[in-house]
Amino acid sequence: MHMQDIETDAADTRVRRAERRDGARLIEMVRALARHHGDEATLTPKALERDLFAPGACASALVAERGGEVVGYAVLAVFTHLHWGRRLMEIHHLFVEEAARGAGIGRHLVAAAVAEARRQECGQLLVSTHPDNGVARQIYGAMGFTEHPSTGCRFKLDLPATGALPAGWI
Domain boundaries, the chain: 13-143
CATH annotation of 13-143: 3.40.630.30
| CA 88 – CA 109 distance, rounded (Å) | 17
pLDDT at residue 124, rounded to an integer: 94
pTM, two decimals, is 0.86
Q: Which of 36, 32, 58 is nearest to 129 (CA)?
A: 36
Residue 142, CA distances (Å) to 5, 103, 116 in order: 27, 16, 20
Pick the more confident residue, 12 or 7: 12
pLDDT at 110 over 70: yes
Strand order in the sheet with 86-96: 8-10, 13-17, 60-66, 69-81, 86-96, 122-127
pLDDT at 7 over 60: no
* 68-98 pLDDT, tens digit each: 999 999 999 999 999 999 999 999 999 999 9
* 28-59 pLDDT, tens digit each: 999 999 998 899 999 999 999 999 999 999 99
* 123-166 pLDDT, tens digit each: 999 999 888 889 889 999 999 999 987 777 888 877 777 767 76
pLDDT at residue 35, rounded to an integer: 93
pLDDT at 67 over 80: yes
